[in-house]
Structure 1
């Protein structure tokens, strides 16, 4: 029997918990694991709903006259927050196209991501090249034919790994360093510390604070790219996607749990959990425990399978951490217990006679 932490977790699919839209892993990664149509309330983190209203709009032929036009806005049914509270314009369609704030540091963040991705790729290629030198016996001769640069950033080591072990050395001479020549090294400018800091206003420490207008710590951490200070800066966030995952054994790599691909289904294709195969043990009655007196504890064992199951109760071994703080000695039955198979039909048949199964080891 293994716990959930001892198994390998594999992501099967991504889906939105609100609209139940299913999407592949590549699309979910592109959308940063968020749904494009559903939003969370920035105040209470509940799901926002789209509300419809009618607003007057001027006619295109005669601007002096107005007509009623449908408009949509986002509203929270729990805390009554609306998108109009932060000045978001209403939309003429019910889905998509909502205004989103732009992070002023997006360009800098993307530059850093590209830089560290290139740095990680260089380190990986260098590690692969060192492994290749140790494993291949003909590598010293290959080095005499093809000179390697000090930093293998052209992917040559990876191409050598794809060659057949029995390939002649002359085949390696056909490799060139054209791969990766167009790749330019990304350079980032170091961040400079600001020498002059804008002074605080004079009434910063004396003016009264309205706590309803100040965001909480949780509200700021849920928007790390902006970290709004005032409640008027809270914008709705796209809803996070959930996943359906399967569990696999680390040793034999067999699937122990695999759900259905459809997000609306709660069934499993494979469900090999221990509760369906291991007998359930419960304490039937709790006796009055007294010092230096023997007490009897009754246990109830339920067999979840249709086959006869043999159960043996064992004492804790010496040095077991669960038995260090024990203040009593437990005497378990020395013989093997036999559990009758589960009769699923008898649970629904009121006229069925109870089975007389001899499970007493005595």
Structure 2
């Protein structure tokens, strides 16, 4: 097993009510089409989001009309957010940057070479021999997948410290003049944020004590014939959203069975799980997940509240919910939990957690 030692969510300083964002971006997306603007307002009002944090001030998005400009901002601002998150997480875990042996970085809203994880090494004073894996393309699932892959590394390096860093500046992918339903939904739902997660192997965890939940097991799921349901079309204007209306149907059809299979290997059933950490995919996704798992009312409340407060943060979404879960602190020693997210593919990543017994 590995143990989650700390989770540090961070947000950009610019926060706006949803209706203010709607009013500002409507003319950027819909030109003079009254019908499109009515659809946009309806989608923005119905997506369960009340506020969002944005990478830049709202009035600057009218000038954000090239991929070059947007990606330069992603590198500059994303590195700043990543540094904040990782410093906070290491401080919370009582560790120093030089303690980090492995770093997995993920984002799907910008690209950089050298990657942002490489830029963090000098900024934070990490060792030159730190192992790095930058990941692009997993999208919203990468928060859960990142925990799973750091866990895989720590299984072979039980004395090491591994960190996951997620940066998603979704607003920088804004597509001017695109009034497709997929783009209007995207403009309503996604926010900006970052998260760092510090994890330690078994040997290191024994020395630190029960600071957070153990990762017991993980499961990866890739569903056939769903490649066109979710993702990006990447071209001259940058990242153009691909988002099918049947995404929620895929989640509802597969999630329950996959979670049941993961739990069965550990002699657990869905009804045995009191703590659920779900990606904030949007109202339809959260509803589909609850139906597929046959969850009681309130089981995904923290995900709903995070969606309302900051929107869908792509790979950072489930990690912000994890931070809220740890802050709530109502889990009992030995209690299990499940963290899950979905992403392009369509794929899902499931993580079985267990809160450690008190020594």
- Give the structure-2-normalised TM-score: 0.17
TM-score (norm 1): 0.17
Q: Hey, which of these two has a bigger chunk of strand by percent?
A: 2
Larger Rg: 1
Q: Higher relative contact order at CA 8 Å, sep ≥6: structure 1 or structure 2?
A: 2
The structure where helix makes up a greater share of residues is 2
